[in-house]
Chains A and B, each alone.
Chain A
């Protein structure tokens, strides 16, 4: 989380209009999800990853580390799709027979699982592109400009801010506990962790009240109004996005099964 946030503030695409980045990410994701061809999915994965690494300048090693987490999840999910049960053992690539039924993987299911995996990974890399190039503050203000209800946008902004406040609080409690040997063995570790969680919850509650107080002191009346910084839309970037996405559409039309 923190790592993603660091890159979001320190990448070469920071000054690009957040709307452009969001549009690219969303449109590409939709193409990836709509296209039945795995070639498109592969192309999207490559495109999004290469853009993040080469254009935005996120180093490839941490990028792979960040992408590996969702990829692993997706792989497990896809694996579950590939496995099927059946009465007769023929037609399985490999399988295992348990009593009367056979558990295994058929070529057809394997194909479906692979496609599913690639498709969802493609969508994930698109999201990662946005997450790694655009600070949350800008995503939020893009949402606000796009007409998303204020309640939702304000909530997103405050939740985001408080992730860090709470993470810091948790870290401080953890450090103070471990400096007093709170984690010296498994038993005391569990006890300390339980206390940390309970404490964090209470503090989160207290903090939310204090925040409301502090905001009221500055004339808050129910809607967060802040200054939005302007970005200029670059015609060149829009053209690049259109060309890239159109080529992806073309690619998936050519590869229609």
Chain B
């Protein structure tokens, strides 16, 4: 049986204003996996993530980390937050310091690491995110994309086994986007569990090994990306587009270009591979 690192068991959460953001949501994230959480605006993705690191406490249901129920005393919360790092959707609410260096050092310092170790980690995180030359720039003179990368470095410096990242690719240019995705893949190869929320179905389709669709505060569907994105009814309900790879695969399959049983391609290259050579076919 698969080992689950994070589980939400029938959790319910109501914001003080009365909005029911989560209404009995259950999902389990496999250890070492790459999970994508999809869903329309206001579905409850961010709220769910805040439960995963103990910022919010469900009014009903349980959150489980590494097979144990999360406890909400100070010491347990610290332990949980060392293990589960969140990169927030809007970097401006995450960055509190005017100095990039100090900003990134905040997490490791709070973990009580020695100074040299903090410096080493900050350096490593800044290099990994490609912003080492912004080290001494004030955060208020950075572009949105640069701020986003500082926000990612913030969490990388803490080196948590689980990284949750809310909308990682919003406001990044294409090169930066690839860079961030590569970064997440590298973290995943090191054995970290990565959970992202995104509105980019193409990214979710090619990147994730498990897709969760959240709607109106509950899980509307989950599964392997190949399966979820073939489920027209679910996509329709959640207002999700089909990834272009799936569209094209469906179309060429319908027109009889594909050998029966060839699996849906996950990347551009896989698609090219399954398209038969037209010159030979016409002969």
B88 contacts A by Cβ under 8 Å: yes
With contacts defined as CB atoms under 8 Å apart, how many contacts are there between chain A and chain B in the complex?
100
Contact between B109 and A225, CB atoms less than 8 A apart: yes
**Cβ < 8 Å to A, chain B residues 77-100:** 78, 81-82, 85-86, 88, 90, 92-99
**CB proximity of A185 to chain B, nearest CB, Å:** 33
Given contacts A210-B93, A217-B86, A219-B107, contact A137 B154 (CB under 8 A): no
Rounded to whole angstroms, the CA-CA distance of A224 and B107 in the bound complex is 10
* CB–CB B53/A217 < 8 A: yes
A219 near B74 with CB under 8 A, answer no
| A221 and B78 form a contact (CB under 8 A) | yes
Task: Name the A residues within 8 Å of B118 (CB-CB).
Answer: 227
B-contacting residues, A216-249, CB 8 Å: 216-221, 224-229
B96 touches A225 (CB 8 A): no
Give how many A residues have a beta carbon under 8 Å from the other chain's beta carbons.
30
B110 touches A225 (CB 8 A): yes
How many chain B residues sit at the interface, stated as a range, is: 35 or more
| Complex contact B81–A219 (CB within 8 A) | yes
Known: A226-B105, A227-B101. A221 touches B94 (CB 8 A): no
Interface residues of A (CB under 8 A from B): 5, 9, 135-137, 157-158, 160-161, 164-165, 168, 207, 210-211, 213-221, 224-229
26 A–B contact pairs at CB < 8 A? A5-B140, A9-B137, A9-B141, A135-B138, A137-B97, A137-B102, A157-B96, A158-B96, A161-B96, A161-B98, A161-B139, A164-B98, A165-B92, A207-B92, A207-B93, A213-B93, A214-B88, A217-B86, A218-B106, A218-B158, A224-B106, A225-B110, A226-B103, A226-B106, A226-B109, A227-B109
